[in-house]
Each structure stands twice: as structure tokens, then as C-alpha cells.
Amino acid sequence: MTGEALFFIMQKRELRRLLSACYADTPNKELAQMLGISIGMVMRYAYQLGLRKDPKYLSDTNRKCGMKSSVAKTWKCNN
């Protein structure tokens, strides 16, 4: 294995560790900026890792967006 391949594997491990620790209650936009990747990639990695947002975090975020729960289920708020 080359040094470059090993570096890439280590980066992936760190990405998984950080997402696992922070995804539940951190805005996707903030995670994307911290990691230097797109919001879509944050969501993709989270999906692949089986991560979910914390229900309380989602409720608070929906409240900030001024959304009722029935609307929040069909509309994404990536604040």
C-alpha cells in the first residue's frame, strides 16, 4: 500500500469518527464547512454510516424555521 493510499484511508476513518460524533446535533452546512466537502456529501456519508439527526435537534431546528411538524417532514431545512 502506498503512502498516499494509507493517508486516504486515515482521512476516511477520521471523517467517520467526526460524523459519528457530531452528525446528530450539528447542522449539515456547518459539518460541510468543517470537513471541506459539500452538504450533499455530508448527507451521503451519514446515510452510508446509518447516522440520524437527533429528534430534539430536528424539533428545535424546525421551530427556528417556523415550520409545523407535518410540513417539516416534507421540507428540508439545512440551517
Residue 77 lies in a domain: no
Structure confidence at residue 44 (pLDDT):
92
Helix (H) or strand (E) run with residue 45 in it: helix 39-49
Q: How far is CA 27 from CA 36, 54, 79, in A?
A: 14, 11, 6
| Owning domain of residue 39 | 3-53
| b/e sequence 37-48, b meaning 16+ C-beta within 10 Å | eeeeebbebbee
Q: Which of 5, 41, 79, 1 has its CA nearest to residue 18?
A: 41
pLDDT tens, 5-39?
655 666 888 888 889 999 999 999 999 888 888 89
Residue 45 lies in a domain: yes
Residue 67 lies in a domain: no
Q: Is the pLDDT of residue 79 over 60?
A: no
Q: Is the pLDDT of residue 75 over 70?
A: no
Residue 61 lies in a domain: no
Q: Which of 16, 10, 6 has its CA nearest to residue 50?
A: 16
